[in-house]
Amino acid sequence: IQKTFKKGEDAELGSGAANWKEGMMARAAAMAKNKVNLMHLVYGRPGVKPTPSSFQGSQVDGESDDSEDDELFRVRRDSQRGASTSGNVDMDDLDTEDCSKFCLDPLTLSNWDSDEVIESIRDRFVTGDWEK
Amino acid sequence: MSGAVRRVRGSQQLRLRLVLATLSGTTLRVDDIRATSAAPGLKDYEASLLRLLEKISHGANVEINETGTKLKYKPGILVGGRSIVHDCGTSRSVGYFLEPLLILGLFGKSPLTITLKGITNDIKDPSVDTFRSTTLPMLKQFGIPTEELELKIVTRGAPPLGGGEVRLRVPLIPISLSAATWTDEGMVKRIRGVAYSTRVSPQMANRMIDSARGIFNRLLPDVYIFTDHYTGHESGKSPGYGISLVAETTTGCMLSSEKTATSLHREGTVIEQDASAHEPQLPEDIGRQAAMMLLEEIKQGGVVDSTHQGLLFILCALTAEDVSKVRVGKLSPYGIQTLRLVKEFLGVQFSIRADPASSTVILTCVGSGYKNLSRKVS
């Protein structure tokens, strides 16, 4: 239903409404480039006191459950979270495995059989074109 | 030692926290170690690491509660020492223990010579081959005499049973580490590597080398990968094979990648079956993937590979009060965590700037001026 509504809206407003959309991709790309501040990414934003969740892992979950407070035992949900996503390090997990080795997911490897990909790093080698 | 106590939660980054607590003389209190896990508390390799820390220092005090979910570590004075032997067990490889030892060994009272027993190559930790080819040469940039740095592989030990043995020798630093300006990664001039095989056909190593070479040949003729085959008492208790590659640049940077076959024996307790299920087993696949991973590291740029970012940042932070400047490709999760811990324990904050021209990251910091206080003054 939403889709048809949007289509109808576009048609009603005519072609003039699409002006601001021009070059949207380029602008978004330019903004995204400037946006990532590595200092903030690593140390958190200045002024904002880094919360324990961003520094030392998430709060123990399930503490604020209003129901079943009188129960002696509670089932922990999510206890195996992060264990299944090997390779993808969950920065907020308190008990992330301590590995310094960077494990690249084999599925994200570029296709190093293709000429294009090989040519893209040719100049990183002494055999590359030094004139450029 | 100051009486500062630092409280943290969870088992994450325990190694680095222990190392930085030891260096900064801070008492470390860790709560909630795997508190919500089905197997709570410290793992045996973490307990083993704590015992190792006690071995190389005087007056260290470790208290662990009954369930192992709480830990209090009061560091002592690093003494180093000769002919220390440590059994690393079989749950983690010796690579797990080598990294903290390398940093702590530099700041002891006497040079450290230690024999570590256990698994030499596995899929989780940097292998001893990579350690030798890439990690040790890195220290040269910080004014450490690399002639005295040595890692000798006495016997191989593949998972799950291990049986390997390595000997590490770490020299003392004179007073403090010298700051490094290390931003020029140069161009790759040659690729070297080691393909090891133990208790399997020596042909396995050749098969890995062939498939790895097939990928490099289109880019660089200077590729040489050594075969390292073990038999008899030098071959450890389990069969295994793997490959460790290193790209050497014109400016002396080393970029590494490695791939190891997961444990071939499945009769014992298989700890992480699901994790190793999609790992390659065929030597051809292992060689190919290691080669492709190396090319990814080369493409990314930077003076070290993703695996060595953590060590690089720590070394930068421990230098004399001088400016260090380094370049890395893309910040790895481990690198980011290290940066945070370094700020927490040593008060060193890096200035991090993206370099859009080469799509790399440049980090600058002023060293903490850390001095080797344990060193004997004669």
| Full-model pTM | 0.84
In Å, how far is A131's CA from the nearest CA of chain B? 14
What confidence score (pLDDT) does residue B247 get?
96
Nearest CA in chain B to A119: B219
Q: Hey, are the CB atoms on A33 and B292 less than 8 Å from each other? A: no
Domain ranges of chain B: 1-78, 188-300, 304-366
pLDDT at site B61: 95
Q: In this complex, do B296 and A126 lie within 8 Å of one another by their Cβ atoms?
A: no
Sequential DSSP letters for B192-232:
EEEEEEESS-THHHHHHHHHHHHHHTTT-S-EEEEEEEE-G
Helix (H) / strand (E) element for B347: namely none
Q: What is the DSSP string of B103-160?
A: HHHTTSSEEEEEEEEE-S--SSS--HHHIIIIIHHHGGGGT--GGG-EEEEEE--BTT
| Chain A residue with the nearest C-alpha to that of B341 | A55
Answer whether A126 sits within 8 Å of B220, measured CB to CB: yes
CATH code for the domain defined by B304-366 = 3.30.1370
Q: What is the pLDDT of residue A88?
A: 44
Pairing of the two strands B110-118 and B80-87: parallel
Residue A22 C-alpha, separation from nearest chain B C-alpha, in angstroms? 25
- Could you read off the pLDDT of A15-73 as tens digits, one per residue? 556 676 777 777 777 766 665 788 888 998 776 655 444 444 433 444 444 455 566 77
Q: Which of A57, A109, A120 sits opposite B292 (nearest CB)?
A: A109
Rounded Cα distance, A63 and B151, in Å: 49
Residue A69's pLDDT is 56
pLDDT at A89: 46
pLDDT at B170: 95
For residue A109, the chain B residues in CB contact (below 8 A) are: 289, 292-293, 296
Per-residue pLDDT of B280-299, as tens digits, reads: 689 999 999 999 999 999 99
Q: Is the dihedral of CA B36, B38, B44, B45 positive or negative?
A: negative
**CATH for the stretch B188-300:** 3.30.360.20
pLDDT of residue B312: 96
State the ipTM, two decimals: 0.81
For residue B267, the model assigns a pLDDT of 44
Check whether A90 has a pLDDT greater than 80: no
* Residues β-bridged to residue B28: B6, B73
**What residues are paired with B230 via a beta bridge?**
B198
Residue B271 scores a pLDDT above 90:
no
Compare CB distances from B124 to A39, A84, A99 and report the shortest one's residue: A99
Nearest Cβ partner for B339 among A42, A121, A127: A42
Give the side-chain half-sphere CA count within 13 A for B254: 23
Q: In percent, how much of chain B has pLDDT > 90?
A: 83
| pLDDT per residue as tens digits for the range B97-138 | 999 999 999 999 999 999 999 999 999 999 999 999 999 999
Residue B369 DSSP SS3: coil
Kindly list the residues from chain B whose CB atom is less than 8 angstroms away from the CB atom of residue A127. 219-221
The C-alpha of B378 sits at a distance from chain A's nearest C-alpha, in angstroms, of 38
User: CA-CA distances (angstroms) from residue B241 to B98, B214, B259?
Assistant: 21, 19, 9
Mean pLDDT of B317-344: 94
**Preferred mutation among B13, B16, B253, B340 to probe A, highest tally of A CBs within 10 A:** B340
Residue B370 has what DSSP assignment?
Answer: -
Facing B215 at nearest CB: one of A112, A125, A128: A112
Pick from B9, B189, B220: CB nearest A57: B9
**What is the per-residue pLDDT for B258?**
94
Q: At A110, is the secondary structure helix, strand, or coil? A: coil
Q: Give the distance from residue B376's alpha carbon to the nearest chain A alpha carbon, in angstroms.
A: 32
Residue in chain A nearest B96 by alpha carbon: A99
Parallel, antiparallel, or unpaired: how do β-strands B240-249 and B254-260 relate?
antiparallel
Q: How many beta-carbon pairs below 8 A join chains A and B?
A: 140
The CA distance from A82 to the nearest CA of chain B, in Å, is 11
Q: Which residues of B touch A128 (CB under 8 A)?
A: 187
Q: What is the pLDDT of residues B13-62, one digit of tens each?
A: 999 999 999 999 999 999 999 988 889 999 999 999 999 999 999 999 99
For B40-61, the DSSP string reads -S--HHHHHHHHHHHHHEES-E
pLDDT tops 50 at residue B272: no
d(CA B124, CA A48): 35
- Mark yes or no for CB contact B34/A127 under 8 Å: no
Per CB-CB distance under 8 Å, the chain A contacts of B38 are 79-80
CA distance A94 to chain B (A): 5
Please name the residue of chain A whose CA is at the shortest distance from the CA of residue B126: A101
Answer yes or no: is pLDDT of B363 > 80.
yes
Across chain B, what does the average pLDDT equal?
Answer: 91
Amino acid identity, position A5: F
pLDDT band at residue B351 using 50, 70 and 90 as cut-offs: very high
Is residue A76's pLDDT more than 90? Answer: no
Residue of A52, A100, A127 lying closest to B99 (CB–CB): A100
CATH code matching the domain that covers B1-78, chosen among 2.60.120, 3.30.450, 1.20.120, 3.30.110: 3.30.110
pLDDT at A60: 41
Question: Which residues lie closer than 8 Å to B226 by C-beta, 6 or more apart?
Answer: B192, B193, B194, B195
Contact B334 A121 (CB under 8 A): no
Reduce the DSSP state of residue B314 to 3 states and report it.
helix
Candidates B289, B350, B351; nearest CB to A106:
B289
B292: nearest CA in chain A?
Answer: A112
Are A95 and B11 within 8 A, CB to CB?
yes
